[in-house]
Structure 1
Amino acid sequence: MALTFTPFAELGSDCPQFTLPAIDGKTYSSKDFANGKPLVVMFICNHCPYVQAIEDRLIQLGTDLKKDAINVVAICSNDAADHPEDSFENLQKRAQEKHYPFVYLHDESQDVAKAFGAVCTPDYFVYDGNLKLSYRGRLDDSWKDASKVTKRELYDAVQTLAKGAKVSDEQTASMGCSIKWK
């Protein structure tokens, strides 16, 4: 497990276009998630201990934002040949077991992760209603222990954007396992 931190984001950049298969059997493109509200794109996987530690909080995030019609999209870009836990079939199983409230996409080619500049799992990208990057920080202030969370930084950023306000440029990097490149 190689600890990786997200780099400082190029805030204001456009959301990369993508079309990927989802674990629900459908294919989605970035346009399917453009509804004039913020968009959360998160790179996650099954095997990463950082993602496992926050998985229930990601589910809560998806549930909370769904109430406001804010789209949350998860993408797995890991090389499944080296990490079979991250195969399409295992992504389907995990999402069904945990009842993920968000669309879960599979980026087998890893082209989408590269287009976003994703480097780790978890890695978060929050876009405003015009699909301009506004937040690339961490989920909250206690990745390892949910009972110690005092600030839901990503959720708060989305709520700020939903109100039409600007998110602070001062953002704390997310950290996790490096994406497992081919």
Structure 2
Amino acid sequence: MKAYAQKQGYDFYYTVDTDSKIANAFGASRTPELFLFDANAKLQYKGAIDDNPNDGGNVKRVHAKEAINELTAGKSISVKESRSVGCSIKRS
């Protein structure tokens, strides 16, 4: 994971949730599934990164980007939840 993250140029923290403790705490069921919290640790958005996980060339709305932009601008999040459609999280 470290080598992959470095190769991809990731400049953020990530974790490997081997015992599904984080997934269970958040109620995550799919991967990827985004959880966006405000400065007060209140959940503001939960769901898919964008509206077309199967075809990146046909994405019409990037939910994550819009939610982050609205949150940082002090606006209400217009889409608070969307359905994640990735692989199911396998619990140990």
Aligned counterpart for 1:161 among listed residues 71, 84, 87: 71
Instruction: Check if 1:108 corresponds to 2:18.
Output: yes
Report whether the alignment pairs 1:152 with 2:48. Answer: no
Which runs of 4 or more aligned residues in structure 1 lie more than 6 Å from their structure 2 counterparts after TM superposition?
A: none
Residue 83 (structure 2) aligns with: 173
Q: Could you tell me whether the CA contact under 8 Å between 2:33 and 2:49 is conserved in 1?
A: no
Structure of higher RCO (CA pairs closer than 8 Å, 6+ residues apart): 1
Quote the offset at 1:132 in angstroms.
0.3
Task: Flag structure 2 segments of 5+ consecutive residues without an equivalent.
Answer: none
Shift of 1:163: 1.2
Kindly indicate which of the two structures has a greater share of residues assigned to strand: 1
Map of 1:96 onto structure 2: 6
Q: How far apart, in 2, do the equivalents of 1:171 and 1:106 lie?
A: 24
Corresponding residue SS for 2:47? coil
Quote the Cα distance in structure 2 between the aligned partners of 1:109 and 1:138.
23
Aligned residues, how many? 92
Bigger radius of gyration = 1
SS class of match (2:15):
strand
Supply the RMSD in Å over aligned alpha carbons. 1.6
**What is the identity, as a one-letter code, of the residue corresponding to 1:181?**
R
Please state how far the C-alpha of 1:169 moved relative to its aligned partner. 5.2
Percent of aligned pairs sharing the same letter: 37
Q: Which amino acid is the alignment partner of residue 70 of structure 2?
A: T
